[in-house]
Structure 1
Amino acid sequence: MNRYLTTFFVYLTLSLSFFLGDLNAQQSSEEDLGSLTLEQCITIAQDQSAVANAARYALISSKWQYRSYRADLLPSLSLSGDAPNYNKSIFSNVLDNGQITFSSRTQSEASASLSINQNILPTGGNLSLSTGITRLGIFSNENTYLWQSTPMVVGISQPLFQFNNLKWRSRMEPLQYEIAQKEYVEEMEDIAMTVTQRFFDVYLAKINLENAEFNVARNDSIYQISQGRYNVGSIAENDLLQSELALRNAESSLTSAKIEYERVLNEFKILLGYPTDVELDLEPPQELPEIDVDIVKARQLALENNSEALNYRLSEIQADRNLAQAKSEASLGLTLNANYGLNQTSKDFSDLYRDPENRQFVTLGFEVPIFNWGKQRAQINAARNQQQQVANSIDFQRRQFIQQIDYTVSQFLQLRGQVLLAAQADTIAQRRYQVAQNRYLIGKIDITNLYIAQDEKDSARQAYIRELRTFWTGWFELRGLTLYNFEDDEPIAYDYE
């Protein structure tokens, strides 16, 4: 019996081991992202990173704010009223002979009204259409109910010679929403540029690690060769010590390179929205796109699309608005209120809408500033000078912005050539090191020249990667300034919902 139990537990243990092994293999495959290109990394960051999500929420918020403004231009329907209330009180009453008596009163009142309101954009007024009903209940020895109805009331409220806030909003709100849309695209391009910078930081750290591993292996071989040559007296002790020192320095550099690679790789994973325990490798771009950018076109696109240029226009409108408001508040202000409608009262609800009577009123309110110690004049002068200050500041900023565009385009047009030159230098340096190594092995050059060639090999590879980083960073900087894809000759757009 014990033998059967033992066999059973052995099979159970093996089955669990295989099951857990398959599960761990499946989890490992799920955590392995494989080799990602620059374009794939950018897409991942734009889809799931915290920065991209925050930008989407900001744009959605601006979208709803714009919809709120659009709703202010459309008719609104509202229902208002008072629920049945109850009031029991004692009030004083003066009789004909002058005697004052006190009486008790108990009553209830309820009302409801339905109204449609429409803002008038050109004038800043408001047009309304309403209907309502009221019931008054008086409770005494015999309860009495009175009804009042307003079947229809048409009203208008129109400010005259006053500041039209709705009209200025009609100029600002669409522009603010357009700015929010442009800022979202710019944020996506900023993410692309940041990912590009970090991508090549990781790639450079990987190359440094590979160089460090290669240098340790090569320097160890050179040290072994130097020991043999020293033993037979073909080199001096100084050369032996130099090769040993180079080996120790290479081992130290390898340790530092490993730490640096792990650091920048984990930071890159976090930027993409992944935990640091996932497996990830990078595949550098194989080809450089040949892109011809016209400076005049880039300048025009930036002034039309970039949110900074649109903010210049918004600032000018806001300054004009503040001046118009200051002038309006310092002048005569009138408000015209007019209503026309029908109303009726009855003790019987069935008679409430029979032969209604006219109801109309017109009021004209006014406010005239007479003397306030020059406050209005001071506000007008302050707004006018602020308008001039904004205009001059925007003119200077616009010139700087155009200069930045011109410089960015001019620099980008040179970057591809710089990358090609760096690639040639890298190829030459790699070949020179191979030649120097072979010449050292046959004793044609000393160890100092070999280490110089090794340092130049590493520096050339690092310089090539930095030029690649500069090229792709400049490409996304140009895209972010103009919001235009010059490679595909089309505007840049991103979905956010």
Structure 2
Amino acid sequence: MRLFKKHIILLTLLLSGYLSLYGQDSTLVGTSINWDLAKCIDYAKKNNIQINALRLSQQTSQQEYLLAKAARLPDLSGSASQTVAHGNNFSNGDNGRHSGFNASGSYGLSSSVTLYNGNFINNNIQQKNLSVQSANLSIIQQENDITLQITQAYLSVLLDKETIVYNTDLLNTTKAQVDLQQKRYNVGSVARKDLIQLQAQQATDQYSLVSATNTERGDLITLKQLLLLPTDVKFDIAKPDTIIAPTDSISAFRDAEQTALQTRPEVKNSELGVKIAQYDVDKARAGYKPSITAGASVNSGYANGQNSSFGSQINNNFYQQLAVTLAIPIFTKRVVKTQVEEAKIAVKQAQLDLKDTRVTLSQTVERAYINVQNARSQYDAAAEEYKYSKESYRIASEQLKVGVANTVDFLLQKNLFVQAQQSFVQAKYNTLLTLKIYDFYRGVPIKL
């Protein structure tokens, strides 16, 4: 299960890793940092590329909302044209031919406002407002996703660190046993095969420690890349004083499911998707209704060669105009009907998306609930096995120390203890992770 989750993280990194350089915080370049889980999550929410891309989309939605509101206002435009023409003038008096320039100009202001268009503007404003809310929910949803990914990667590193501690203790114990066995071999009290068997065990313990260290290094890189930290940052996590697997009772699945369905952003976003699609139907139906617009304009102009001056011409040619226009759609070649029907289909699709979102979320919460139950059962069994294996290993170690234990029997007990220890540590962190995920769907913030 843990390997599968690592594959999910690595897949996420492959999808976003090539863009990671654009999300890195230059202020951290060349520094050494040691962060706890809360700091990792907070940094990821601020610097994640997908989240910041959604923030830009939210800003675009906000601008579209403002534009929709501005459609209620009248517009105002000005125009000015200046013309200079050259031509030949013929005079009848002297049969002469003369050329010259003629200049003229016109100037005006115009404004129009929509008085009624089938409530299209109001519906568009309401729809764009919902789009802004939807964009905000998309940000929260992505923040939730990155929170779970960071938590999983962080706990993987904590598991590695605890494994290193256990393996270090095992290696130190084996070294002491090898030294003791070496002394006994030197005085001829044990056979060479007993010494070699312990030396082989020491090499095995050394390999296990190196393997655990390498695993920690790889998991730290995974977490570091999820955070989009610069490559030359020395990164490590702050290890809590103690990590104890939760033993509290698990909240009922139905309660968790209802809480998730009522509070999770993906459900709210899908509900908004249905409302947004319904507004498209109302906007399309506006094409059946008449529209009323009002307009006004003021204009003036002049031309040279007239008997009056420029000022007089501007004053004499100044005129104002008011107009109200009624447009009634009579035959639209099925354009409006098609738009309405397509909008209705989009509503049905949005309703299906909502249903799918709710079903998927319910299944996810149920899976999280089962994972908690399974992890809790495994932890209880692993803790019991670890307790007895630890005691058996302690007794075998004491017997080996005083020379009354067979080396083969001792190594058998030790291997059983190592296996029980590994199962216990993994079960502890798996229980912690599954419970944190389950509680997260219940609306409980993740923290250690």
Q: Which amino acid aligns with 2:239?
A: L
- The 3 A distance-change label for structure 1 pair 76 and 159 is closer
1:62 Cα deviation from its structure 2 partner: 0.8
Normalising by the residue count of structure 1, what TM-score does the alignment of the two structures yield?
A: 0.63
Q: 1:306 aligns with which of 256, 260, 264?
A: 264
Relative contact order (alpha carbons < 8 A, sep ≥ 6): 1 or 2 greater? 2
CA distance in 1, matches of 2:271, 2:99: 69
CA distance in 1, matches of 2:298, 2:143: 59
Name stretches of at least 5 consecutive residues in structure 1 with no aligned partner: 1-29, 94-100, 116-127, 129-154, 488-497
Q: Give matches, 1:256-267, under 5 Å.
A: 256-267=211-222
1:405 Cα deviation from its structure 2 partner: 2.4
Q: Give matches, 1:316-335, under 5 Å.
A: 316-321=274-279, 323=281, 332=288, 334-335=290-291
Residue 277 of structure 1 pairs with residue 234 of structure 2: yes
Q: 1:363 aligns with which of 325, 330, 333?
A: 325
CA distance in 2, matches of 1:183, 1:281: 30
Contact 2:107 2:299 in 1 (8 A): no
Aligned pair count?
Answer: 400
Q: Sequence identity of aligned pairs in percent?
A: 17
CA distance in 2, matches of 1:208, 1:187: 32
- The 3 A distance-change label for structure 1 pair 156 and 481 is same
Contact 2:127 2:279 in 1 (8 A): no
1:246 Cα deviation from its structure 2 partner: 1.9
1:270 Cα deviation from its structure 2 partner: 5.1
- The 3 A distance-change label for structure 1 pair 186 and 384 is closer
- 2:78 corresponds in structure 1 to 81
- 1:293 corresponds in structure 2 to 251
- The 3 A distance-change label for structure 1 pair 433 and 181 is farther
What is the CA deviation profile of residues 207-262 of structure 1, one whole-angstrom value per residue up to 9, with x for unaligned ones?
A: 33333333333333434444566677766665444333222323333333333333
Q: Give matches, 1:341-420, under 5 Å.
A: 359-369=321-331, 384-385=344-345, 387-392=347-352, 394-409=354-369, 411-412=371-372, 419=379
CA distance in 2, matches of 1:270, 1:371: 56
- The 3 A distance-change label for structure 1 pair 351 and 476 is farther
Normalising by the residue count of structure 2, what TM-score does the alignment of the two structures yield?
A: 0.68
Q: Which amino acid aligns with 1:309?
A: V
Q: Which amino acid aligns with 1:460?
A: A
1:308 Cα deviation from its structure 2 partner: 1.8
Residue 199 of structure 1 pairs with residue 154 of structure 2: yes
Q: 1:55 aligns with which of 51, 60, 73?
A: 51
1:46 Cα deviation from its structure 2 partner: 1.4
Contact 1:209 1:258 in 2 (8 A): yes
- The 3 A distance-change label for structure 1 pair 211 and 81 is same
Q: Answer with 185-194 or 232-241: which moved more.
A: 232-241
- 1:446 corresponds in structure 2 to 406
Which structure has greater strand proportion?
1
Q: Which amino acid aligns with 1:395?
A: K
1:435 Cα deviation from its structure 2 partner: 1.8
Q: 2:65 aligns with which of 65, 69, 85?
A: 69
Which structure has greater helix proportion?
2
CA distance in 2, matches of 1:271, 1:319: 35
CA distance in 1, matches of 2:339, 2:74: 38
Aligned-partner SS, 1:361: strand
- 2:145 corresponds in structure 1 to 190
Aligned-partner SS, 1:369: coil
Q: Which amino acid aligns with 2:260?
A: A
CA distance in 1, matches of 2:434, 2:174: 38
Q: What value does the CA root-mean-square deviation take over the aligned residues?
A: 4.6
Aligned-partner SS, 1:107: strand
- The 3 A distance-change label for structure 1 pair 394 and 258 is closer
1:70 Cα deviation from its structure 2 partner: 3.8
- The 3 A distance-change label for structure 1 pair 71 and 483 is farther
Contact 2:134 2:272 in 1 (8 A): no
Q: Which amino acid aligns with 1:470?
A: N
Name stretches of at least 5 consecutive residues in structure 2 with no aligned partner: 1-29, 90-96, 303-308
1:309 Cα deviation from its structure 2 partner: 0.9
